[in-house]
Amino acid sequence: MDKHKKLSGSPFLELLGIKIDEAVYPRSWLILSWDGRLVNPMGTLHGGVISSLVDAALGCALLSKEEVKGIATMELKINYFRTITGGVVRAEGEIIHRRGTVAFGQARIYCENNLVALGSATYKLTI
């Protein structure tokens, strides 16, 4: 499977409207434009969407490495700092450590240049 197909072939990301801006191991940059269908009852972007952005950013960073054929999220942690009520949301993911078939990364989520969430995750890789 080629790199482009690995990165862009997710129906879930398409459903959420998450776009891959760039992915070059060990980093990736994703974009999500505001969509009122993704809000919680308070009218802010649902926390699950933000956690999906973290997971997607780190997953894209890993899958941009040619030898990585697949990934499974083993652990995911999110810290939320601000709510999002509109605008363009950006995710910046970076793989911090990899040993064999286990990798760890961190992702920052921004809206209008404000840090809104920070997440980390551990992955099991298929090589």
In this structure, are residues 105 and 62 in contact, taking their beta carbons and an 8 Å threshold?
yes
pTM confidence score: 0.93
pLDDT in tens, 48-97: 999 999 999 999 999 999 999 999 999 999 999 999 999 999 999 999 99
Which DSSP helix (H) or strand (E) runs through 6?
helix 3-8
Burial environment of residue 45 by CB neighbours within 10 A (0 to 12, 13 to 18, 19 or more): buried
**124 pLDDT higher than 80:** yes
Q: What is the domain-level CATH number for residue 44?
A: 3.10.129.10
In this structure, are residues 61 and 93 in contact, taking their beta carbons and an 8 Å threshold?
yes
Give pLDDT, residue 1: 47
Question: Could you tell me the residue range of the domain that residue 32 belongs to?
Answer: 3-126
Cis peptide bond upstream of 11, omega within 30? no
Give pLDDT, residue 116: 99
In this structure, are residues 81 and 70 in contact, taking their beta carbons and an 8 Å threshold?
no
Q: Which residue has the higher pLDDT, 110 or 6?
A: 110
Query: For the chain, what is the domain count?
Result: 1
Helix-then-strand count for the chain, H and E: 3, 6
